[in-house]
Amino acid sequence: MRLGLGWADAIAVVVAAVVSYAALLLLIRLTGRRLLARLSVPDHAAGVAVGAVMGRAILGHTPTLLAGVVGLATLFGLHCAAVYGRGRRLHRLVRTPPVLLVADGTVLPAQLRRAGISQDELRQRIRLAGVGCYRDVAAVVLETTGAISVLRHGATVAEDVFGDVRGKEHIRGLSTGEGQ
């Protein structure tokens, strides 16, 4: 095992990490949050494969310990910039807004397609939330993290909480949330 790393190789590792990270974010943005949201067997396999491909691409043909440390430091730096950075462009690229999937017991098929969520997955999430039928659902939202939130009828559905949700106009009786 080689420990050392020349300057040219270190720069190559940093460039490969930056390009790989940007490509990963772009692909997740284009294909949806599915890989991040649920770890079914195919999703888990894809996640492991993505990690392996990225690691190999970043470290190059003959990885060294120092290349691994430089690659990890670069990825963690990029992650911190994406999560804690203040740039609006980066924020819009990295974070996709939440998407309304069900409003007032009505499934929104166009929103499901946009989110890459199947009817079967939606039904499973509703059941996991302890809800037995669509008419008991006030709203189902695919969150930015890939998690799915299920709100029952009877819960206050306030505009201030749904401000960033795509499709919120489908919710009847959206309250202003004042005094909540």
pLDDT tens-place string over residues 66-89: 888 898 899 888 888 877 776 666
The Cα 141–Cα 149 span in angstroms is 5
At residue 156's C-alpha, the angle toward residues 150 and 158, to 5°, is 95
Find out whether 59 and 67 touch, Cβ atoms under 8 Å.
yes
pTM for the predicted model, two decimal places = 0.66
Strand partners, 166: 99
Q: Which residue has the higher pLDDT, 13 or 161?
A: 13
- Mean pLDDT throughout 85-94? 65
Triad 148, 152, 157: Cα angle to 5°: 85
Rg of the chain over CA atoms, in angstroms?
21
Helix-, strand-, coil-residue percentages of the chain, each rounded to 5: 55, 10, 35
CATH node for 99-170: 3.30.240.20
Reported confidence tier of residue 150, pLDDT bands at 50, 70, 90 = very high
Q: Exposed, middle or buried, 110 (CB in 10 Å: 0-12/13-18/19+)?
A: exposed
pLDDT of residue 180: 44
Domain residue ranges in the chain: 7-94, 99-170
- Buried/exposed code over 30-53 (b: 16+ C-beta within 10 A; e: otherwise): eebbbbebbeeeeeeeeeeeeeee
